[in-house]
Amino acid sequence: MLNQSLFEDQDMSSQLGFFAFSSNPYNLPFGCSQPSLKTLTAVAGSLAADTQTTLSESATQKQKEDVTSHFGEPPQLRSLQRSNANLWAWGEVNDCMNSKKNGGDNYLGVATIKMKKIKARRKVREPRFCFKTLSEVDVLDDGYKWRKYGQKVVKNTQHPRSYYRCTQDNCRVKKRVERLAEDPRMVITTYEGRHIHSPSQDEDDSQASSQMNNFFW
DNA sequence: CGCATTTGACCCGCGC
DNA sequence: GCGCGGGTCAAATGCG
C-alpha cells in the first residue's frame, strides 16, 4: 500500500517526510489502523528538507535536474523538496525581532508591529510531514480540529490549495490540503509543526490513531 | 449570536 | 528593480 516515498536530506533544521498512500482504501494516514506502522516508521525515519513543491511543467531545468539526480529517474510523483527555499534562518528572525533600522525605528506603529509579526512567523520553520492519500474528501480526519484560514489556486493546478490551522489555543500547527494535479483522486496533506496537545477527545480515536499521533507529534 | 468558512487584498521571497 | 506566485490576514458571509 505504501508504494512511493520521497525524501531529501539537505537541511536538518526542518524535517519533512513524504508519504504516498496511493492505494490506501482507508484514506487516513493517521486514523486508520490498516497501514503498516512498521513500514511508516521505517519510512519516517528519514529526514527531508523544507517545502514540498509540485514540480510543474514550468519548473526550471535546474529543478528537474535536481530531481533526476536525487531520485534517478524523473519521479512519477513529480514532487520534490525544494532546498533553495531553505533560506529561513533564525538569524533573520532575530533581525526582525530586533530593530534593524538604525535610528528612526523607535516608533512602532501598528502596521510596523504587524509586519514584524508576520515576518517573524514566516521565518520560523516547523517540522513538516507530507502525505499523499487516495480520498474523495479533502480534509482527512486525523483526530485534531482544524480551522480553515485560506484557500489559494496554485499555478498549473485546477484544484485550489486549502490552508488550515489547529484550533487549539497556543497550538500553531498548520496543514495544507491540495489535490494532485496529475491525479485529482489523490489528496496531498502537508502538516507543519508539532501539536502541543492530544487529539480532540470527542473524536472516535482508534488505538492505531493514537499510536500514529504519538509517533508523529 | 457565535463560530467557521470564504475570498479578495496584502506581503514576502525569489527569479529574471 | 520588477513581476510572479505562495502564504496569510481579516472583513464579509454563511450556518447551526
CA dihedral of A133, A77, A61, A88, whole degrees rounded to 10: 40
pTM over 0.75? The answer is no
The Cα A95–Cα A154 span in angstroms is 31
DSSP string, A118-171: HHHHHHPPPPEEEEEEE-SSSS---SS-EEEEEEEEPTT-SSEEEEEEE-STT-
Q: For residues A187 and A140, what is the distance between their CA atoms, to the nearest angstrom?
A: 9
Distance from residue A147's CA to nucleotide B5's C1', rounded to whole Å? 8
pLDDT at A181: 77
- Residue A150: per-residue pLDDT: 94
φ and ψ at A170, to 5 degrees? 70, 0
Residue scoring higher pLDDT (A191 or A11)? A191
Burial class (CB in 10 A: 0-12, 13-18, 19+), A17: buried
Of the ranges A155-164, A182-191, A198-207, which one carries the lowest mean pLDDT score?
A198-207
Q: In chain A, what are the domains?
A: 128-192 (2.20.25.80)
A window 1-60: Cβ near strand C (< 7 A):
51, 58
User: Would you give the distance in Å from CA A175 to the centre of its chain?
Assistant: 6
A64, A74 contact by CB (below 8 A):
yes
Contact between the CB of A121 and strand C at under 7 Å: yes
Give the pLDDT confidence score for residue A200 in this predicted structure.
62
A125 touches strand C (CB under 7 A): no
Question: How many angstroms separate the CA of A179 from the C1' of B5?
Answer: 19
Task: State which residues between 92 and 151 of chain A bring their CB within 7 Å of strand B.
Answer: 92, 111, 115, 118-119, 122-123, 145-151
Q: What percent of chain A has pLDDT over 70?
A: 34
The region of weakest confidence among A67-71, A119-123, A199-203 is: A67-71
Average pLDDT, chain A: 54
Q: Nearest protein residue to B15's C1' (by CA)? A: A60
The answer to whether some atom of strand C lies closer than 7 Å to the beta carbon of A155 is: yes
